[in-house]
Amino acid sequence: MQNQRYVYPLDLTNLNQEVEIICEKLRISKAEAIRNAIEFYSEYVKGLKIIELRNIPKKQAEEEILNYLKDKEKAWTSEIADDLRLDVSIVNDILTKLAEEGKIE
């Protein structure tokens, strides 16, 4: 059985200079450079985790963060945001406020 071949027309007008540099430095064809880029990003997105952020009042977020931190010796802002499904900027604002109030170190 013969493998099915897929051909995609691409307009690389705005990227031609970048493609030329890649091909020259790696000594590969444009087709190979494009295939390599697709393979790279295919592997990259496999490791991504999609988090649906919750939209909750700041007071509730503050309580959840304090509760979360009770069981932790230390935690990164991004870790808290991911685990509680909160926007990282909101978590950062709340952590700053809690630190200023002396509730956390």
pLDDT digits (tens, 9 = 90+) for 13-27: 999 999 999 999 999
Is 0.85 surpassed by the pTM of this model? no
The whole-angstrom distance between residue 72's C-alpha and the CA centroid of its chain comes to 24
Q: Indicate if the alpha-carbon torsion angle 44, 45, 47, 51 is positive or negative.
A: positive
| Structure confidence at residue 72 (pLDDT) | 87
Q: Which residues contact 51 (CB under 8 A, 6 or more apart)?
A: 82, 85
Per residue of the chain (105 residues), give pLDDT as tens. 678 888 889 898 999 999 999 999 999 999 999 999 999 999 999 988 888 999 999 999 999 999 999 988 889 999 999 999 999 999 999 999 999 999 988
